[in-house]
Structure 1
Amino acid sequence: MDSNINIKLEVIKKVVEGVEIIVIDPESEYQEIIKMLGGKPVTINPDNFTYINPFELEEIDT
């Protein structure tokens, strides 16, 4: 449980620092925190056609 809290705090810290975060969350533990931080949960499952192609991710200018 403590490691989960530590990870969530680290996610918040990195977002505040301006780092873009991608969280793979099979148990939906991070949905609320992602929404709170202005992120958008993306549901990926065999019943929908949403996918992420890591080769199409754009570089972010810092």
Structure 2
Amino acid sequence: MNQPNQKILIADDDDSLRRVLEFQLQEAGYEVLTAENGTQALEIFSSEDVDCLIT
């Protein structure tokens, strides 16, 4: 089921976990942003309209 206009931010230092989650969520129809640390996550969160944050 696609969720139009739903943007998810994944923030985790584990590259493999980020990639797996990103792939699965994109396959489900979500727009996915990723950050490898808290600083990147804050930068993205402050500049994008994020609907959900996964850490």
| Superposition TM-score, scaled by structure 1 size | 0.32
> Which structure has the larger Rg?
1
Bigger RCO of structures 1 and 2 (CA < 8 A, at least 6 apart): 2
| Superposition TM-score, scaled by structure 2 size | 0.34
Structure number having the greater strand percentage: 2
